[in-house]
Structure 1
Amino acid sequence: MKKIGLLSVLLFLGWSSFAQKTEIKWLSLEQAITLNKAHPKKILVDVYTNWCYYCKVMDKNTYSNPKIIAYINTNFYPVKFNGEQKENLNFDGKDYKYISSGKRGYHEFAAALLNGKLSYPTTVFFDDKAQVITRLPGYLDAKNYEPVLVFIAENYYTTKNWDVFLKNYKGTF
């Protein structure tokens, strides 16, 4: 009888983990920086707001794609950063805070990351030394996001022009 009970529990655990949807393992910026110091990897920062329609569409359509999820989780420390969050942040020895402005405010870190051009969603890529590689404003579906991820993760950006890379890109997943 104990074996049947144990078998039932194991089957339930196996089924529940099978039924769980794989997701991007989003981190805080602090977590990503800490992990990066121990095991260097590029950092992907998704700068979004709660009211941004295309941010939600990108979450639903792009960041839920199983191949995008696997590629990001393998090659990047992914961070979600709300461009209007109220919590203070210290990055690279500098303190950033929320600035109240009109109906909505903005976070100084978002403004710094986006060079003052607060456009959502924007994806910011950092190298493994936490230096900005590039900023990518706007929504991208999975098909158009894939070559960007590969271009950054596999260091093509250091040796190839984006247009040449894209023209020759065949897709890897």
Structure 2
Amino acid sequence: MKQLLVFSFLVIIFCSFSNKPANKETIRWLSFDELQSAYQQQPKPIMVDIYTEWCGWCKEMDRTTYKNEKLVTYINEKYYAVKFNAETRAAISFNNKTFQYNAQYRTNELAIYLTGGQLSYPTTVFLSGINGQPAPLPGYLKPKQIEAPIKFFGEKANEKETFIAFNKKFHSSW
């Protein structure tokens, strides 16, 4: 009888946790073609997630960081987000320039441009606008680690102050 009571209790606990509603909203990832079209309609800052198929930390960021409910909502509201496979062999047109696959580096020239030649995966790149200077942030980032840079560009603080000044007074809410 006692075992049945313990089993029933465990079933109730399991069911209460499994019925928790999952975050249904996901980041609305765009291609570079979609980005340029959307940007012409309404300019916003741009975030590019540069990844490769073989990169374990890229997959971990997709599984964890890019599932954070607050981060997803913020990115979808304030940014155009682009997911970009650095090793794509397809020619990519971005900002009136065509980027080709570079066999020597085994990567697309757009990845080289966006990272300033410092290829590392994952790398999150921020652009204040379509003509903006790329601001690459290499490595796996947890939501709390990426919050300040996301909000720096998302709130257009980059137009008024340096990231160092912004970060000194920044208070994390994620």
Same fold (TM over 0.5): yes
Deviates more, 1:132-141 or 1:75-84: 132-141
Give CA deviations for 1:102-144 in whole Å, capped at 9, x if unaligned.
xx82111111111211111111111234322511111110011
Asked whether the equivalents of residues 147 and 171 of structure 1 are also in contact (C-alpha less than 8 Å), the reply is yes
Q: Tell me which residue corresponds to 2:70.
A: 67
SS at 2:64 equivalent? helix
* Alignment map for 1:79-94 (pairs within 5 Å): 79-94=82-97
1:34-53 equivalence runs, <5 A? 34-53=37-56
Q: Secondary structure at the match of 1:116?
A: coil
Structure 2 unmatched runs, 5+? 1-20
Letter in 2 for 1:23: T
* Matching residue's letter, 2:52: T
Number of the residue aligned with 2:149: 148
What TM-score does the superposition give when structure 2 sets the normalisation length? 0.80
1:13 corresponds to: none
Answer whether contact 1:42 1:130 (CA < 8 A) is retained: no
Distance of 1:71 and 1:172 partners within structure 2: 12
2:138 aligns to what? Answer: 137
The higher radius of gyration belongs to: 2
2:25 maps to 1:22: yes
Q: 1:139 to 1:19 in 2, by over 3 A?
A: closer
Q: Which amino acid aligns with 1:168?
A: K
Number of residue pairs matched?
Answer: 154
Query: Runs of 5+ in structure 1 lacking a partner?
Result: 1-17
User: TM-score w.r.t. structure 1 length?
Assistant: 0.81
Partner of 1:12: none
Cα RMSD (Å) of the superposition?
Answer: 1.9
- Counterparts of 2:96 and 2:35, CA distance in 1: 16
1:145 deviation in Å? Answer: 1.0
